[in-house]
Structure 1
């Protein structure tokens, strides 16, 4: 049996979790139980071309550090345990998706950025317990799509008309998964 996912417009609490321009992005929730590497890597490959940027706020797992080191994946270290990785190949994408899923399933968000003129140093997140996540150095005019990966799915924020509704987003998800139509905004 295929794993089911749902796609809905995001509610205000989800949207307000980030300090990003609300008027230029459409926010969509993609929920899935037991998120997997193939779910994320297929979605990203279907939606974007390279380069794609992954922001890993933590490297709590030695396995993640080992993969980055052993494969000589260039990574911009922005804190004692955070990395920003510019992805330029499918192999690197799949390796980083593996790390991302491990982090997400352990409650640590991973951010994915796609756009023109993005640089690693601009994608450093700032968190304070009582404020939204902020990317202080980022010009959001350069961002086409921003994805927050968590243990329960994804929040997709995009300016691209190809992804501006739950129905459109569902076309980019692998056929290995089935849409829960009852719980989706279709």
Structure 2
């Protein structure tokens, strides 16, 4: 049986949870009950060209850093648990997607950035309980799309016309997922 998902314009609370220019980015939410590494890999491959940047805000289990080092995947460490990884090959994408799957299925967020001229050291998130998530040093003009992957789905913040409405997003979801039209803004 296929897993169902829905696609909607994001609720205002989701939009307000990020400190991004609201006029430039459209926000689309996709609800999926199970985030898998093949879903993440497929999304990245269908939506973007490599490189993309994964921001692992917290690598809480400890083996994530060891896995990156063992596989000779360079990363920018911005805290004892946080890393930014430039993914520029399918091999890296598969490896990092597996790490991301474990993190999001344990309640953590993983951010995926796509754009031209993005610098790893600028992708450090700032999170405070009473303020929106900020990426203070990011040149927002260089960011085409940000995907916030969470345990219950993902949110796309994009300037790109290819996925700026709920009607356009389903073609990027793998076929083994089924669209719940009744819960979607389609």
Tell me whether the two structures share a fold, i.e. TM-score over 0.5.
yes
1:63 CA displacement: 2.8
State the distance in 2 between where 1:184 and 1:25 align: 20
The count of corresponding residues between Structure 1 and Structure 2 is 186
- What residue is the counterpart of 1:148 in the other structure? 148
1:181 Cα offset (Å): 0.9
CA displacement at 1:62 relative to structure 2: 2.7
Q: Which residue of 1 aligns with 2:14?
A: 14
Q: Structure 1 unaligned runs (5+)?
A: none
**What is the DSSP-based 3-state SS (H/G/I as helix, E as strand, rest coil) of the residue aligned with 1:124?**
coil
Q: Structure 2 regions of 5+ residues with no counterpart?
A: none
Corresponding residue for residue 120 of structure 1: 120
Q: CA deviation at 1:70?
A: 1.0
Tell me which residue corresponds to 1:102: 102
Correspondences of 1:36-185 after superposition (within 5 Å): 36-185=36-185
Following TM superposition, the consecutive aligned residue runs of length 4 or more in structure 1 with deviations greater than 4 angstroms are none
Write the distance in 1 (CA, Å) between the matches of 2:36 and 2:95: 12
Compute the RMSD of aligned alpha carbons: 0.8
C-alpha separation in 1, matches of 2:75 and 2:29: 28
Q: Secondary structure at 1:148's aligned position in 2?
A: strand
What residue is the counterpart of 2:26 in the other structure? 26
- Post-superposition CA distance 1:112-157 (Å, at most 9, x none): 0000000101111011111000011011111000010110000100
Aligned counterparts of 1:2 and 1:35: Cα–Cα separation in 2 = 13
Q: CA deviation at 1:66?
A: 2.4
In 1: Cα distance, 2:128 partner to 2:62 partner: 26
Q: Distance in 2 between matches of 1:119 and 1:93?
A: 18
